[in-house]
Structure 1
């Protein structure tokens, strides 16, 4: 099987290696972290939480699961896979940093070719997202945690994915092996433009989409993915709104206009940037 779980976790309290003992991960200092019935582990200490229930809510995760599993963002997943796979060693390890409900890691797992054995791990601050991911794809290791303190050892990963996420470049550089690659996916200026035109009184122009290259990395490539999709029902449009920050940013009048839609043609416009650690 080309995809397996990642087993080199580190204690979030002292950085020591974790060893699986029955239904828990334990470190030499005696810290122990139970493995949930669904297969994930919670490695987000209370002192690293910004709220009682951080990250995406249960409702947001459910909407994203329905929307993504319907295939609306398949062009983005396909382009991401093409950016990840070149140059992988025969024994590789990949982290999805901010994995959500695991869609992109599942898509990558299906695309790994014969001859490559890839250990995969998904990390998200939302316990609801990780719970959903673990239920759908037990082939991966799933962890509740934060990109600010990734619970894996130094130089242990060949790839890190950050898809519409919040990058912490120093941490990404720490966990990547020499020559390892970070694959960033960010919205371009026209991403979901038609929806934004409907829900906002005026649309603020977005920047081109590529982030500046941090000193610890060098750019390998950048690509624009631009596709047109059509949402054929009000429920699909509602799920898209619920899974994005637009639901909380848009005025009530804009959300009311969106709620009346039964069909919407949308532009997908994303930038994929591949960075290699120095």
Structure 2
């Protein structure tokens, strides 16, 4: 197998192709983006930010990295890898974007499962500079980019597959960058995901979203797969990492966080659904 950085990047300011020029990426109109020493590039212009430091914090990224590297979500990753194998079909080369890659756990494991003779051009993108920095430190084979799903710095019709795993899908952008017949592999939390933790930190649980099974315009549903299992976290640090890596840390009340932080172990339900969409 061969893993290479995805190259068909677009300027986030005007959409024109970016070319590597020494230690930077530059478009034909002169916009220039330096490649960091760690190997990633920042393609999220300040005028397109909603805050000074958007996305996951440095602490959230570190907690997620510890939690995922412990193998707690490995069955979800395995399901994604199995679905991604179908993207190749009769061809030996494919291009992948992990849209909301975090610290790169899922796309890194996917790259390591490719068969002999398969070639993948891979791009990992996240709005958090801390997440992309952590990803770039762990794998030099992938193109890592700080950017937004709302304005993907990718040229049109260039990707075979977009991964959106517990992220924020922007379907019109996914449709723009995918080739005809390209796929989205999307993982979302099911209604019982981490229910036991949520029951501890919230006074009451919100009802499930009614639009969960909606099919986005411009796509057809190829299939769904449910990943559900019981996960026991046997120490306080693992429970703390789970809480810290999710939005629940900021949504919960102070009392709810205190109850969770006092736990020395916790058994939770992992409930995720993997849906495969094809661009029509």
2:62 maps to what in 1?
62
2:106 maps to what in 1?
104
Q: Deviations over 1:208-257 (max 9, x none)?
A: 78431112000000111101111111011001111101111111222111
1:182 maps to what in 2?
184
| Aligned mates of 2:147, 2:270 — CA distance in 1 | 29
2:19 maps to what in 1?
19
2:139 maps to what in 1?
137
Q: 1:191 to 1:182 in 2, by over 3 A?
A: same
TM-score calculated relative to the size of structure 2: 0.96
Q: Deviations over 1:29-55 (max 9, x none)?
A: 111110000000000111110011111
1:240 correspondence with 2:248: no
- 3-state SS in 1 of match to 2:149: coil
The alpha carbon displacement at 1:206 in A equals: 2.1
Stretches of structure 2 that go unaligned for 5 or more consecutive residues are none
- Superposed CA RMSD: 1.2
| Aligned mates of 2:136, 2:244 — CA distance in 1 | 21
Stretches of structure 1 that go unaligned for 5 or more consecutive residues are none
1:228 maps to what in 2?
230
Greater than 4 Å deviation, 4+ residue runs? none
| Aligned mates of 1:265, 1:225 — CA distance in 2 | 16
- 3-state SS in 1 of match to 2:86: coil
Q: Count the aligned residue pairs.
A: 278
| Aligned mates of 1:131, 1:41 — CA distance in 2 | 10
Contact 1:183 1:272 in 2 (8 A): yes
Where in structure 2 are the equivalents of 1:1-278 lying within 5 Å? Answer: 1-88=1-88, 89-207=91-209, 210-278=212-280
